[in-house]
Structure 1
Amino acid sequence: MTVIELPDLPLPGHGATAERFRGLADLARQDLVAARLGEGHADAVAILAELGAPVSGERWGVWAAAPRSLRARLTDDGWRISGDRPWCSGAQWCTDALVTAAADDGVRLFSVRNTAPQAQPLDGTWPAVGMAGSDSRTVRFTDAEALPVGGVGDYVGRPGFWHGGVGVAACWFGGALGVADALYAAARDKDLGPHALAHLGGVAVALGAARAVLAEAAAAIDADPRRDAQALAVRTRATVEWAATEVLDRVGRALGAGPLCRDGEHARRVADLTVYLRQSHAESDLEQLGRLAVDEDPAW
C-alpha cells in the first residue's frame, strides 16, 4: 500500500486557493503518484464540504469516470450500488470513495466504504508503467451500501467541479517542475551549449505561462467562487497541459537519452507525467473551449 502524507490544504474559493494549488504543485514536484492520491483525497474533502456532507473517512478517492458504469438502486435498507468502475486511483489505498452511479432518476453521487466484499479491486486491470504506483485498477462493487451526497446532477452541476479540475492542472504543473529540475541541475553543473540553453529558455517560458494561468484561476475562483468556472478551468487546463508537454519535449531534446536510461527517478517522473497528462481530453477539451469562447472578447 502506498504511504503518503495527506496534504492539509485550504478549500477552494475560500480566499486561499493559490495556496491550495501551490500545495498540490509542490507535492507533485516531489512525487506524482503521491500527488494523484493526495489530490483525489483533497478533492473529495472539498466536494463533501460543498455539498454539506460529513467527512468521516480516512483516505478518500473520487472515482467518477464512466458515471453509468455503476447502477444505484434504492432499497428498504437504503441505497445499494453494483457494477465495475474503471480508473479507481488508490484502489487498495483508499478507505472511502465518492462514486457516481446511474439511478432511476439520473446520475447521483454516493460515498462508499472501500471494503471487501462489497468493493473489490480487480487484478490485472492496471498493467501501467507510467503512474503504476497509483494503483488505478477497476473496482467491482457488489450490492455495496452507499450514502447519497447531494441530489441528482449535483456533482457536476456545482461550481467546485471546475475548481477541482484546476487542481489537477496544478499537479500537472508540479510534475513539469519535477521534470524540468533535471535540466536546471544540468545547466548549473556545466555549460550545456547553445541548443540546450535555448531549450532551457523554452522551458522557462512554458513554466511561467502555466504558473501565471494557475495564479489567475486561483484569484478568479476566490473573487467569485459561485460563478460558472467551466471556461476558466478548461482554458487553464489546456494551457498547463501545453506547458507540461513542452517541458517533456524540451528536456528530452536538451539532455538526450542519458537521464531517461540512467536516472530512475527522472525516468519515472517522465513516464508518470506522460500518463497523468492524458487525464486531459485533448482536442475534445479544445473544442469545448472553442464553443465557450465564441462570444468572449480575448482582449486585456
Structure 2
Amino acid sequence: MNATQDTRPPRAVRISSTPDELAGLGPLLEAAAAGVGDVPALLALAKDLGQTAPKPGSGRTAFLWEILASVTAVDVAAGRILEPHLDAAAILAQAAGAGGTVPFAGTWGVFAAEAPGLTLDAKDAGGAVVLQGSKPWCSIAAQLDHAVLTAHVEGGGRAAFAVDLHDAGVSFADPHWRSRGLREIPSGTVHFDAVPAVPLGGTGWYYRRPGFAWGGMGVAACWLGGAVAVARSYADALKTAADGGREPDQLALAHLGEIDRTLSGLLHYLARTASRIDAGELSGPGAWSEALRVRGSVAAAVDRIQALVGQNLGPGPLAFDEPYAKRMADLALYVRQHHAMRDDAQLGALTFKGDHPW
C-alpha cells in the first residue's frame, strides 16, 4: 500500500481553537508548503511570524502550539526552523521582564547543547562580556543573524546570552552533515573568539524561568504536528485503496483506531496544559515535571505512530513518495531531541520527591 500525494490545501492541527480561528493560518501554511527545502524562504517566513505570534503564557499558548504543530505538519523541517526563532522571541521578552533589553530583529537560533571536549566561556572584558570557545549542535547557524546561547560563567554555572552571529569573531565549522533527515538543517559547531555578548537574566536564569519548560513543550507540539501528518498520510492511503476496491482489513483499522485515540488524547492533553500555563498554574517548580510528561508522551506517540504506519504502508512510499519519505526521515531525527529513558529517569526522580498529580 502506498501513501498518496495530498493535493488539498495544507490543513491546520487543532488543539483548542475554533475552525474559524484556524482558518486564519491558511496563508502561513500555504507559504510553508511553497518554501519546502528553501531555507532562506522559511527563515523569512519565521522572521515575519516572529513579530505577531503569541508568546507562551500570554493567554494564547494553545494557538502558539497550533502554529508550531500546523507548520510542522506541512513540513517537519519548516517547523524545525520556526520553533527556535519563536522561542528566542519568547526568551528575549522574558529577559526584558528580568531587566534585559535586546531588540528582536533579524533571524534567531537558540543554542544550549553541550558536548564533550567543547566549552563556551563567558569572560569579563572591562565590564562587558565576551564569549570564548565553541558551541556544538548549532542548527543553520551560518544562515542566522543572532542567537540566544548558554555559556559557562566565571565562578561556576551557566547563563544565557544574546550574540550577533555576524561578528568577526564568529566562525562556523563544516558540520559534515550526513543525515538523511532534516538534510537542509545541518547542525555544526560554532567557534567564538572574543565575541561581545549581552547577558540575559543572570546565572541560572535560563533554566530556572518557567519559559524553559514552556519552550520544551513547544518543541513537543512540533513533534505532534509531524505525527499528525504521518497519520493523515496513512488515513488517506486507506481511503484511496478503498476507493480502488481494496477495503482495509481489521489489522489496518485497529492500527488506525490506535493512532486516533493516541493523537486525540495528546491534543486534549496539550489543550489542558496550555490552559494551565495561561492560568499561571505552571509557573513554578512543577513546570519542568509537566514538560517532561508532555515531551515523553509525545515522543513515545511519534515512535509508535511511525512504526505502525511504516509497517502498514511498507517500503513503497519510503522509496517513491518524496513528501512521505522526507517527513518520516525528518521526524525520526527531530524527535531524538528527546532523551528517552534519561528524561524518564529525571521525571522519576522528581516523582520520587512527590512532584506528581496522583
TM-score range, shorter chain: over 0.9
> 2-side partners of 1:169 and 1:205: how far apart?
18
Partner residue in 1 for 2:319: 261
Runs of at least 5 residues in structure 2 that lack an aligned partner in the other structure: 1-37
Residue in 2 aligned with 1:216? 272
Is it true that 1:110 corresponds to 2:161 in the alignment? yes
Secondary structure (helix, strand or coil) at the match of 2:54 reads: coil
- Are 2:157 and 1:100 aligned? no
1:83 and 2:133 are equivalent in the alignment:
yes
**95-104 or 196-205, which deviates more:** 196-205
| Distance (whole Å) between structure 1 residues aligned to residue 143 and residue 288 of structure 2 | 30
Match of 1:54 in 2: 102
Question: How much does 1:57 deviate?
Answer: 2.7
SS in 1 for 2:184: helix
1:123 aligns with 2:174: yes
Q: Could you tell me which residue of structure 2 aligns to residue 249 of structure 1?
A: 307
Identity %: 37
State the TM-score, normalizing by the size of structure 1.
0.94
One-letter code of the match for 1:65?
A
Consecutive unaligned residues of structure 1, counting only runs of 5 or more, are: none
Distance 1:73 1:203 in 2: 50
TM-score normalized with structure 2 length: 0.80
Query: CA offset at residue 150 of structure 1?
Result: 1.2
CA RMSD after TM alignment: 1.7
Q: Is the 8 A contact 2:89 2:104 kept in 1?
A: no
Cα pair distance change 1:177/1:112, threshold 3 Å = same
What's 1:206 paired with?
Answer: 262
| Deviating more after overlay: 289-298 vs 99-108 | 289-298
Residue in 2 that maps onto 1:133: 184
> What's 1:63 paired with?
111
Structure 1 runs of 4+ aligned residues shifted over 4 Å read: 296-299
Instruction: Measure, in 1, the Cα distance between the counterparts of 2:356 and 2:83.
Output: 33
- 1:122 Cα deviation (Å)? 1.1
Partner in structure 1 of residue 13 of structure 2: none
Q: Which residue of 2 aligns with 1:193?
A: 249
Question: Hey, what does 1:30 align to over in structure 2?
Answer: 74
Q: Is 1:42–2:86 an aligned residue pair?
A: yes
Which residue matches 1:173? 224
Change (3 A) 1:178 1:252: same
Q: 1:176 to 1:193 in 2, by over 3 A?
A: same
Which of 277, 284, 289 is the equivalent residue of 1:231? 289
The aligned amino acid for 1:81 is: L
Aligned counterparts of 1:212 and 1:243: Cα–Cα separation in 2: 14
Taking the aligned partners of 1:60 and 1:84, their CA distance within structure 2 comes to 18
With 231-240 and 86-95 compared, the bigger mean Cα shift is at 86-95
CA distance in 2, matches of 1:152, 1:77: 16
Counterpart contact for 1:92–1:135, Cα < 8 Å = no
DSSP-derived class of the 1:151 partner? coil
Deviates more, 1:214-223 or 1:52-61: 52-61
Query: Separation in 2 of the partners of 1:182 and 1:56?
Result: 37
Q: Deviations over 1:217-246 (max 9, x none)?
A: 101111115323011110011111111111
Residue number in structure 1 paired with 2:30:
none
In 2, the alpha carbon distance for the partners of 1:48 and 1:140 equals 23
